[in-house]
Amino acid sequence: MNVLDESVIEDNGVAYINDSIGLHRLEHRSATSQAVSLHLYIPPYNKCQIFDESTGSSNEVKSTFYSKYGMRTPFTVSSN
């Protein structure tokens, strides 16, 4: 897989991506400062595809959410 585009998001910046645009990766390149990112998925979804760059393969995984529709979701650990 080849990188087609790269964007640098400045402090307090906002970015947007959807599946029709392509894959995305977030990376904080500083070794000394911390970063926080907030991801909003609207509407929530139950599963998604992840890509393992080291193997070149994709897998479908189940999604978990802190909240849905403004209500806290119960945290459960999957037995899989």
- Residue 31 in domain: no
Q: Could you tell me the residue range of the domain that residue 59 belongs to? A: 39-80
- The yes-or-no verdict on residue 32 having pLDDT over 90 is yes
pLDDT for res 77: 61
pLDDT for res 79: 56
- Residue 3 in domain: no
The helix/strand/coil state of 51 is strand
Q: What is the mean pLDDT of residues 31-43?
A: 85
- The yes-or-no verdict on residue 20 having pLDDT over 60 is yes
- Residue 27 in domain: no
**Cα 38–chain centre separation:** 9
- Residue 52 in domain: yes
Pairing of strands 57-62, 47-52: antiparallel
The helix/strand/coil state of 18 is coil
Count of domains forming the chain: 1
Q: What is the mean pLDDT of residues 50-60?
A: 88
Per the prediction, the chain carries an average pLDDT of 82
- Residue 29 in domain: no
**Cα 74–chain centre separation:** 20
pLDDT for res 78: 59
